[in-house]
């Protein structure tokens, strides 16, 4: 096992006797000691060697101690400088501290004073080192619980954070899927700001929020005269995101006509503004998100299969909140802190009974719904604890299916079977939040069979 190297000290003093005395004292105390006679020599020494401590006289020929301090500020970040002088005043000591010195000793001094000052400096260094280590540990823990603005400590979310962090460093296309309110845009923002394009624009586009007639010109721009009101050439959102990232939210809502054009962008990195005859090259990373099951949309003919595979290079699925209830306490505390700052409140925690209700709730609106509930509770809270009375009355209530006699009043086995089957499928779709693959597994039937029955019974997508 290799022993730790001795700590190094530099003595800067023009008096040879002082150099010898300090070197002998500090060497006996277990330090490695170098000596120089003025500030200029000290500058040369600190540029070549790292010292933990420096004892420096104030008055010296060539370059005095104060000038040395000023000149060496950029290289003394990890060094404690202790100034020495037989002509010291309070003003001199204050000036030395302002320039970065740790302490100031008046000459003449006793050997014990030097060793005591050194001991205090070492304790300060130990505390600084411990503080830095603790900060790094806390940061590492916090980093493991978040990705950008996304919060979670469940295994599912930790795995998602690791995957998203890896993906951020590559230019591959990402498709984020998940229910509304799960935080898909937060994942996209995290990927962008942890990647090489973070200094450039992130342009979010809600593909379902722009009228179809305007969507093409919004995305790709247009030439002057392309349509009524087009009085000048205008860049689209893809060009606005040049060298950055474009986030296509709810990409499943794109009309088929625009899906073809988006496919060309993905294939050739080219766009063609409305009314233009020439294509333009673009340098944009594409991140897409959808709350729809695009595989089902492809099967139903509402989404192009080739575009789906182009977008689905790196799929990331955000689970609904009901699948990661262990994250609810952490999210609650995060939102409490956020709205304490916003509303100048001092809420500390949530009562155990209120937390039980939060954990029982099914959260159809996911994290967005939870945030709204906590914001409301913080606004209404008069003390430091959020209790039951501050939560919405319906929160945590369990909906029970009606008994079979309320569903069916007749005697026909055929009709009764159909009603029961429809009811079970509806319940399975509700339990899986519209995930047909999982619903088919619960019902123990094939996926195509489930799709056929959904069509027969006229069940709506959830």
Task: Assess if CATH 1.10.8.60 describes domain 322-390.
Answer: yes
Cα(320)–Cα(154) distance, integer angstroms: 12
Question: Do the domains spanning 8-135 and 404-457 agree at the CATH topology level?
Answer: no
Q: How confident is the model over 29-38, as pLDDT tens digits?
A: 889 999 999 9
Residue 227 confidence class, pLDDT cut points 50, 70, 90: confident
Domain ranges of the chain: 8-135, 155-319, 322-390, 404-457
Q: What is the pTM of this model?
A: 0.60
pLDDT tens figures, 376-398:
999 999 999 999 999 998 886 65
Indicate if the pLDDT at residue 202 is higher than 90: yes
For residue 385, give Cα distances in angstroms to 31, 45, 48, 326, 338. Answer: 55, 59, 58, 20, 15
CA distances from 129 to 32, 126, 203, 345 (A): 21, 5, 42, 35
Give the distance, in angstroms, between the CA of residue 296 and the centroid of all CA atoms in the same chain: 31
Class of CATH domain 155-319: alpha beta
Burial 191-220 (b: 16+ CB within 10 A, else e): bbebbebeebebbbbebeebeeeebbbbbb
Average pLDDT value over all residues in the chain: 86
| Superfamily of structural domain 8-135 | Response regulator (3.40.50.2300)
Q: Which CATH number fits domain 404-457: 3.40.190, 2.40.128, 3.30.450, 1.10.10?
A: 1.10.10
CB-based contact 376:339 (threshold 8 Å): no
Residue 462 has pLDDT above 90, yes or no: no
Percent pLDDT > 90 in the chain is 49
Dist CA 55 CA 80 (whole Å): 9
- Top pLDDT among 3 and 435 is at 435
């Amino acid at each position: 096992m290799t022993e730790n190297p001795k700590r190094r000290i530099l003595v800067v003093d023009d008096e040879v006797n002082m150099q010898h005395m300090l070197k002998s004292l500090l060497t006996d105390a277990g330090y490695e000691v170098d000596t120089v006679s003025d500030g200029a020599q000290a500058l040369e020494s600190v540029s070549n060697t790292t010292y933990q401590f420096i004892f420096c006289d104030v008055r010296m020929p060539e370059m005095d101690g104060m000038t040395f301090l000023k000149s060496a500020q950029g290289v003394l970040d990890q060094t404690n400088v202790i100034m020495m002088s037989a002509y010291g005043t309070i003003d001199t000591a204050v000036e030395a501290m302002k320039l970065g010195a740790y302490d100031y000793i008046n000459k003449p001094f006793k050997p014990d004073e030097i060793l005591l000052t050194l001991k205090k400096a070492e304790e300060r260094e130990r505390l600084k080192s411990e503080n830095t280590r603790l900060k790094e540990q806390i940061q590492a823990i916090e980093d493991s619980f978040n990705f950008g603005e996304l919060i979670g400590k469940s295994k599912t979310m930790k795995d998602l954070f690791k995957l998203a962090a890896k993906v951020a460093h590559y230019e591959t296309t990402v498709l984020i899927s998940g229910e509304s309110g799960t935080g898909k845009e937060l994942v996209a923002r995290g990927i962008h700001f942890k990647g090489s394009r973070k200094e450039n624009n992130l342009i979010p586009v809600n593909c379902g929020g722009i009228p179809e007639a305007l969507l093409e010109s919004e995305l790709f721009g247009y030439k002057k005269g392309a349509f009524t009101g087009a009085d000048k050439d205008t860049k689209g959102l893809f060009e606005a995101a040049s060298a950055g990232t474009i986030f296509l939210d709810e990409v499943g809502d794109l009309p088929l006509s625009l899906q073809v054009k988006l496919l060309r962008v993905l294939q050739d990195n080219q766009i063609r503004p409305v009314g233009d005859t020439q294509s333009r090259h673009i340098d944009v990373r594409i991140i897409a998100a959808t709350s729809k099951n695009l595989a089902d949309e492809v099967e139903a003919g509402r989404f192009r299969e080739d575009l789906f595979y182009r977008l689905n290079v790196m799929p990331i699925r955000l689970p609904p909140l009901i699948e990661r209830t262990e994250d609810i306490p952490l999210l609650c505390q995060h939102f409490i802190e956020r709205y304490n700052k916003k509303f100048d409140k001092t809420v500390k925690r949530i009562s155990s009974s209120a937390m039980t209700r939060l954990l029982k709730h099914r959260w159809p609106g996911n994290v967005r719904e939870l945030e709204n509930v906590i914001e409301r509770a913080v606004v209404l809270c008069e003390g430091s604890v959020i209790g039951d009375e501050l939560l919405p009355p319906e929160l945590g209530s369990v909906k029970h299916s009606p008994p079979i006699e309320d569903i069916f009043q007749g005697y026909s086995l055929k009709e009764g079977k159909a009603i029961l089957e429809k009811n079970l499928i509806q319940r399975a779709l509700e339990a899986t939040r519209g995930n047909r693959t999982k619903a088919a597994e619960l019902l123990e039937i094939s996926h195509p069979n489930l799709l056929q029955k959904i069509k027969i019974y006229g069940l709506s997508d959830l």
